[in-house]
Structure 1
Amino acid sequence: MSDDDGDAEQELGVTKSKEYETGEWYAEVVQKAGLANYGPEGMSGFIVTRPRGYALWERVQSALDAKFKDTGVQNAYFPMFIPESYLEAEKDIVEGFDPEVAWVTHGGHEELEERLAVRPTSESIITPYISQWVRSHRDLPLRVNQWCSVVRWEATETKPFFRTKEFLWQEGHTAHADRDDAWEETMLRLDQYESVYEDVLAIPVLRGQKPEHDKFPGADTTTTVEALMPDGKSVQGATSHHLGTSFAEAFDITYSDEDEEEQLAHTTSWGFSWRALGALIMTHSDDQGLVLPPTVAPTQVVIVPIWQADTKADVLEYAEGIRDDLADAGVRVELDDRDTRNPGFKFNEHELNGVPVRFEIGPHEEEDGEVTVVHRPDGEQSTVDRDGIVDAARSHLDEVFAKLYADAEETLEGEVREASSRNEILGTIGQHGGYVKAPWCGDEDCEAEVKDQLAAEIVMVPFADEDDRRGDDHDDDCAVCGDRATRTAYFAKTY
């Protein structure tokens, strides 16, 4: 290895510890793995998403978009600017988002007659058009979704993908004839979000609903999937809102039923953002760099040929044949045949970039008709035959996914603890992090007491059919105030 290679290899390495310097480690992985850069000076809270980072978003977007379309959703696009009068038509929206709204006051040199909000969410621009499109019960259910960016002028500390002032997301909006149909829609979207986290991102989640005081402004119910990060904090992975008739009343979404009677529609909205990428990076990556499940990795298999001058031609020909077979089968494969880098540098670089499976091919592999296979992140190594290489590659990709999911699942299962008193909640979260499951009276003041002392909050309460402790027959006392408990709450620190 030349001195130049050594210097470059040192530059590739991650210098911060995931366990002890989680925030700095995360930022270093995002930048050194080529996922994003910070925005221009003076634009704190904005990022530039690089091609490798955007490719991850495209993979997740494609998986989720397919699920939507298979269940009757059509994509549309609405203006990014919302007239102030539209936003004020639903006063709860203004109350909930006003501190974070960015406003446009001038067009060119002319002052606008009415301020325009840069969308913090789009209920108030989409719902008026739904009201135009819905006239009869035959128009229902109506389902539209848009992929776009939104702006929320966060006052808190920002972090790439987890919390930025502008972020990419999808927001779906639907109208239905009755409450039950709208609720089924709400849960269908929550199911799809859960599936993307678990089946695409290899991240197990908890599901439930937000407490009454933390639901989406104007909603009847906000449902959520929550993902636990290795540092013990929870990420709100996605939300699906049952809006009831509040938006229909504000924007006059009515329809004629079968008896020609005018009825109010029931609506939903649901959203999933690139916060999922933050959860992906944080959950699986390590001190060597990015770790990706094969489902979203831009490159699933990298082939690194290892040669001497007299074996180069044969090794490369053998490696090229394997690359072609994998590519023809739809495997995202890269042959790293650069002359300017030695194999050790290539190994480190592809580990930093999160390539799930590495094929090492030298003269011995070429002579014996074999391939050496190495997994990321645990470095497990094995040998497979050249014959059947496509099936072998797929099998190893499945193994890597299963390892990542199992590790994340073990972390989650070990970080849900129960508490029956305020001191137990504070002590458990303070010492261990993770989720603390406790009986709760439903009073916001009890959450506020925990939040004030520990910056932890109620991230969700389980659904009635998923927690037999919820309801009027709850036998426990609230862990905070001692009054009769009516719900079970999951407390955690959050991103």
Structure 2
Amino acid sequence: MEATHEVICGLDAPCHAFSAKQSSAAPTWTPKNGRQKKKTSGASLSGVDVAKEVDFPSWYQQVLLKGEMIDYYDISGCYILRPGSWEIWEILHEWFNREIRKMGVRNCSFPLFVTEDMLNKEQNHIDGFSAEVAWVTQSGSSKLDKKIAIRPTSETIIYPYLASWIKSWRELPLRLNQWNSVVRWEFKNPQPFLRSREFYWQEGHTSHLSCQGADQEVLQILDLYSCLYHDFLAIPVVPGRKTEKEKFAGADYTTTVEAYIPATGRAIQGATSHGLGQNFSKMFNITVEAPCEGQSEERTKKTFLWQNSWAYSTRVLGVMVMVHGDDKGLVIPPRVAPAQVILVPVGITASTTEDVKQSLVEAMADTRETLQDADIRVESDLREEYSPGWKFNHWELKGVPLRLEIGPKELQTGCASYARRDNGDKGSISFASLAAQVAEQLASIQSDMYTRALEKFRDNLKIITNWADFTPAINCKHLCLVPFCLKEDCEDKIKKMSEGTLDPGSEHDARAPSMGAKSLCIPFQQPSDLKGTNTACLREGCERMAEKWCMFGRSY
């Protein structure tokens, strides 16, 4: 499956230029101690009781807990992933496994522990993780002679063994992947799925004879990540390359797909594919005797392998919730919804005859069987202790894409009533063509969810060519595409100069972080070629010429 690359920066419509003069609708705020929590209309006592636009952190916490995606654990920063989230992870897992197997990737498993000596072997690599490494220093009452790290990533665990496994250049490329958890002991405020101390991911590690072969795979994997967001999670992303400052520690370069959270105006790194070059192979002596270029196989030379690593994590679940969720709870795209359809019996009263009740039971069972035979994931809510209205709210909270209601009226008309979770649209579906019409509704929901997310991303990605417009745009929750010199010192200064809020006395959004804007990526699809145009770098005071358009913004 190939990802469809959109026209500009990975989005399918042009970015809009931004001027500070246009920003009259800057977000307003009320002091934290005076903030009013907006009750959601129609929510039960167990529903979400704060609006997404009023208090996003509280909303996010409630949606995850009450939507039964997570529960909190007694170790800070660690979370229980309940079936409501784990089953989504499994759907993505199964698809991604199929796709990488087509590429010749094989799954394996390595231990979660790594010695300090081995972790320290690649200095740039460990420097990037040193503050987050968790260490085992004691067994029972005995101190360990040497402390052992719990893996923050697995390069230094896997690569020592590749040196002995790879015997010949004919065995290449060697492509391995493992599904596992890693530990990064975040000191910042942990957040479920976004910044947790233990999280789940897949991590691919591959070795190649040539740089060209490795580079080709980096982009092939990134296309799969774009597909995962676009086709499954209904979320648009911008594919691009990280700046030198933001690349993976120890890599030659890092490619990424970047998503956007409209409610907070912040970007989030969706997944990464790294070209490691020969950095780790030289460190761990991963070599083969390979034919000299243009020579017969009889003439060989020692060749260090070219390596890649790539990963996406359970962060994708948090991105999905933040982008699509609303004041009633979760809104799950059909392609990843554990239950795509919920069946609810309605219209049963004290006067309903036993014959009608039996007919309803049979109709519910037939409907469920028909949908299951069409490979549609469906559940029935036959609990008698709850009213239909309570059930509607309950399943809306859990984000089930489509609700079908069946009662005496529906039996008479031969049509089930439906309600879409994403936009609230209601109508009827004939029992005679039930599976086909339900499939059409699910496809429409999936498409419409992506379209709405795309429009919000597109509307909030602004081309900025004047420094005076940059910070106001960031404060209005936009991402900015700017001409940039790509130098690290300039990137540091942009971040520092864009800290804080609008001018003193002007209104701003207190929920927006005061952090400065950072580089997100250099989009593969550039609005224009800056070479030879003598376009200055955006930053005020930078006297260098811009090399590329670079996307900046506040980020998770």
Q: TM-score range by the shorter chain?
A: over 0.9
CA distance in 2, matches of 1:180, 1:222: 15
Match of 1:247 among 266, 280, 286: 280
Match of 1:17 among 51, 63, 71: 51
Are the equivalent residues in 1 in contact too, given 2:151–2:183 (CA < 8 A)? yes
Q: Which moved more, 1:113-122 or 1:285-294?
A: 113-122
CA distance in 2, matches of 1:228, 1:482: 31
Secondary structure of the corresponding residue to residue 146 of structure 1? strand
Deviation of 1:472 (Å): 3.7
| Amino acid in the other structure paired with 2:493 | E
| Amino acid in the other structure paired with 1:477 | A
What are the superposed Cα offsets for residues 148-180 of structure 1, whole Å, 9 maximum, x if unpaired? 011111111111101111111111000000111
Secondary structure of the corresponding residue to residue 473 of structure 1? coil
Aligned 1:96-495 pairs, distance under 5 A: 96-230=128-262, 231-258=264-291, 259-306=299-346, 307-308=348-349, 309-310=352-353, 311-430=356-475, 432-452=476-496, 453-454=498-499, 455=515, 456-463=517-524, 466-467=525-526, 469-470=528-529, 472-480=531-539, 481-495=542-556
What are the superposed Cα offsets for residues 395-430 of structure 1, whole Å, 9 maximum, x if unpaired? 111011011111101111101101123321111101
Are the equivalent residues in 2 in contact too, given 1:12–1:352 (CA < 8 A)? no
CA distance in 2, matches of 1:78, 1:471: 45
Secondary structure of the corresponding residue to residue 450 of structure 2? helix
CA distance in 2, matches of 1:120, 1:146: 14
Deviation of 1:336 (Å): 1.0
- The corresponding residue for 1:4 is none
Report sequence identity in percent: 38
Q: Which moved more, 1:147-156 or 1:307-316?
A: 307-316
Are the equivalent residues in 2 in contact too, given 1:474–1:486 (CA < 8 A)? no
Are the equivalent residues in 1 in contact too, given 2:44–2:393 (CA < 8 A)? no
| Amino acid in the other structure paired with 1:297 | A
| Amino acid in the other structure paired with 1:476 | T
Q: Which moved more, 1:377-386 or 1:142-151?
A: 377-386
Deviation of 1:110 (Å): 2.7
Secondary structure of the corresponding residue to residue 131 of structure 2? helix
Deviation of 1:116 (Å): 0.9
User: Would you tell me which structure has more helix in proportion to its own residues?
Assistant: 1
Runs of at least 4 residues of structure 1 off by over 4 A? Answer: none
Deviation of 1:31 (Å): 0.4
CA distance in 1, matches of 2:64, 2:521: 29
Deviation of 1:37 (Å): 1.4
Are the equivalent residues in 2 in contact too, given 1:426–1:450 (CA < 8 A)? no
CA distance in 2, matches of 1:327, 1:486: 54
CA distance in 1, matches of 2:335, 2:459: 26
Q: Which moved more, 1:336-345 or 1:444-453?
A: 444-453
| Amino acid in the other structure paired with 1:56 | I
Secondary structure of the corresponding residue to residue 87 of structure 2? helix
Deviation of 1:70 (Å): 1.6
What are the superposed Cα offsets for residues 162-220 of structure 1, whole Å, 9 maximum, x if unpaired? 11111111110000001110000111111110110000111010010110111111111
What are the superposed Cα offsets for residues 248-271 of structure 1, whole Å, 9 maximum, x if unpaired? 000111011133321110000001
Secondary structure of the corresponding residue to residue 170 of structure 2? helix
In structure 2, relative to structure 1, the CA distance for the partners of 1:219 and 1:135 (3 Å cut) is same
What are the superposed Cα offsets for residues 8-65 of structure 1, whole Å, 9 maximum, x if unpaired? 963222111111211111111000000111220xx22111111212111111212212
What are the superposed Cα offsets for residues 434-472 of structure 1, whole Å, 9 maximum, x if unpaired? 310010111222222232232210010123xx2264564
CA distance in 2, matches of 1:278, 1:353: 14
> What TM-score comes out, normalization by structure 2 length?
0.85
Q: Which runs of 5+ in 2 are unaligned?
A: 1-41, 292-298, 500-514
Are the equivalent residues in 2 in contact too, given 1:440–1:478 (CA < 8 A)? yes
Q: Which runs of 5+ in 1 are unaligned?
A: 1-7
Aligned 1:49-64 pairs, distance under 5 A: 49-64=81-96
| Amino acid in the other structure paired with 2:319 | A
Corresponding pairs, count: 483
Are the equivalent residues in 2 in contact too, given 1:474–1:487 (CA < 8 A)? no
In structure 2, relative to structure 1, the CA distance for the partners of 1:313 and 1:57 (3 Å cut) is same
Q: CA RMSD in A?
A: 1.4
Higher relative contact order (CA 8 A, sep 6+): 2
Secondary structure of the corresponding residue to residue 468 of structure 2? helix
CA distance in 1, matches of 2:251, 2:124: 9
What are the superposed Cα offsets for residues 219-269 of structure 1, whole Å, 9 maximum, x if unpaired? 111000000112211110000000000000001110111333211100000
Are the equivalent residues in 1 in contact too, given 2:133–2:149 (CA < 8 A)? yes
CA distance in 2, matches of 1:91, 1:299: 47
- The corresponding residue for 2:66 is 32
